[in-house]
Structure 1
Amino acid sequence: MSMNLRVATYNIHKGVQGIGPARRLEIHNLGHAVEQLDADIICLQEVRKMNRQAAARFTRWPAMPQADFLAPEGYTAVYETNAITRHGEHGNALLTRWPVLSQGHQDISDHRFEQRGLLHVVIDVEGKPVHAIVVHLGLIKGSRVRQVAQLNEFIAREVPQGEPVIVAGDFNDWGARMRSAMNAMGMRDSHDLPGPRILTYPSRLPVTQLDFIYGRHLSPVACHVPRGPIWARMSDHLPLVTDFSLALSN
């Protein structure tokens, strides 16, 4: 027996768009957008736990951390900080409609100018543990290579060999150069599915794919990227949504 498991990944750009005086708050629109994704697991990057400067500037700044604010009714929000800044902190988050069994975090920063981490959440899907790992890799190719190697070591250490695992997030991977390394780990994404080329960045006129969803012991069956003026204004990335077939025990 198998079931469909929908996974989404979305870099929300800290819930704010624009530059200087034109900066605008998008976190409320993002709340509606996340709900529309109708995903079982939603992996988010650049999520603010708090930011004193933004809270002082925007009168409608949510009083709660962004992960909790964005979680649709009935979902559990899990958050871990990657970066501590002068005015606050931000990191990765995961929202899920399935029960959370455990969570963990590992710092995968490659140099002092970029604070990066991976969020590991174990989810109970119809009695089956599913591991979801949210990543936001570095801007430098060499950093990404080393961070994927750290990811490989983490999975080998923390994920039992036969249990399903999803790795999703902003890979900053121009040209999908990390795909071969992910494939070598037994991870597959929607690359082999028929359909148009997947483009997620920049949101206003996407020309490349920086956001990826990989799975092991799950089979990708469908993939899409929401498009349109509303999606283009909420973040510099578009969300990516992949449906997987998950085998369940008889």
Structure 2
Amino acid sequence: MQSVSLNDYLSNKSNWPKRLFGWEKFGIDRDIAQIESEYNIDRYAPLLADASLLTIEACKTREFENMGMSPDAPHFISYGEELFKCPTRVARKLWIDLIQSSAQRFATGQICELGCGYGYNLAQLGDKSYGGDYSENAVRLGQRFGADICRFDYYQPETYEFIRPGSTILTVHSIEQIPSARAFIDAISKQRDKITEVIHLEPSWLDERTTLLGMARNRFNELIQHNRDLVELLRSHPDIEIVSFEPDVFGIHPLNPSIRTVWRFRK
């Protein structure tokens, strides 16, 4: 793993400096149609159709390859404000290590991952883990590999009813897909008696970012219309106690790093 500078990362070889400065028009309408196209159709449908993918690990490797990231290709990552370059396979390993260590450190119940895709994270977390996802193709693919997955929609409160008593809720870069987390918090509050704690590994807008990289991260969040208010809503909610908050703990995409937030409902 090689330490690199911000100039190495945001050089003229990247499209992002032009987009961040407004020199290249870029924007996404992050609505249901966008999610359906980007994930259900473009990402998961080709994997589901590929009969040669016999294991969930082969499926994840192909998913990255389809996005132009072969295992040995160089890849930028971040820890806080420090930037590094390493092979994609190393970046993926560090990413899974973060997910596993977060569950081991904070989870006291069986893991329920909301927005779990086809269940790759669940496969790394043990037999008792289960989850739900919006994408029909992801659910079908996960069930092919034996994952305990059902359909779930952040915007539909009734779909949260699949959460089982004694569950630790986990989200990993899935709430980022809903520009406001208010629907999530309102819906999950109705399941509070089933939930021991909630662990988020999610990007979000942070007002306290003041460095050049921090402001670039907020601008990226704005351009790509990722979640803007998860942290703000958790901090201000009278029935929520934040147990741990670690900003920008790891970025498998340095402009879109995970904030690790752990919280529970007040008794």
- The normalised TM-score by structure 2 is 0.39
> Which fold has the larger relative contact order, with Cα–Cα distance below 8 Å and residues 6 or more apart in sequence?
1
TM-score (norm 1): 0.41
Higher helix share: 2
